[in-house]
Amino acid sequence: PNPTASPATSTSSNILHTRTYDLNITYDKYYQTPRLFLFGYSSTRHPLTSTEIFEDISTDHAHKTVTMETHPHLHMTMASIHPCKHASVMKKLMEGIPDMRVDQYLVLFLKFMGAVMPAIDYDYTMNVGS
C-alpha cells in the first residue's frame, strides 16, 4: 500500500488523513508492456469513489490516459493507466541502462507512472542504476 495526502476532513488541522492504493500490474498482451491498475482506500479503509481517485491523478492524464476499467483477473472496476505509449517511453528510458534486470525494469516503470500519479509516494527499495 502506498499512502498519499488527502484533504483533511477533521476539525483538527494537525491530523493528516491519507489515502492508500493497491497497485496491480498486469501484462497487456496487445501492447506488450506492463499495465497498472489502482484501487484506492480512504484513511478509514473505505474504497474511494472514482471522483476521489481522479483527485490523485494529474489533470493532464485524468479521464484520458487514466480511466475506470474492469480488471481482467479480479473482475472489479479500478483506475487503469492505458498502456498505448508505455513501450515507446520505457524503451527510451532504458537506452542508457545496459543489462537491465526485470526487477529494475519494474522500479523504472513505477517511476515513470509517478508522472501520471504525482500525489502517490512510493517506497523505492533500490536504485535503478544498482
- The residue from 5, 74, 84, 115 that is catalytic is 84
CA dihedral 39, 42, 44, 46 (to 10 degrees): -50
10 Å CB burial of residue 24 (0-12, 13-18, 19+) is middle
For residues 12 and 30, give the distance between their C-alpha atoms in angstroms, rounded to a whole number. Answer: 49
- Indicate the residue type of 66: V
Active site residue 84: yes
Q: What amino acid positions are annotated as catalytic residues?
A: 84
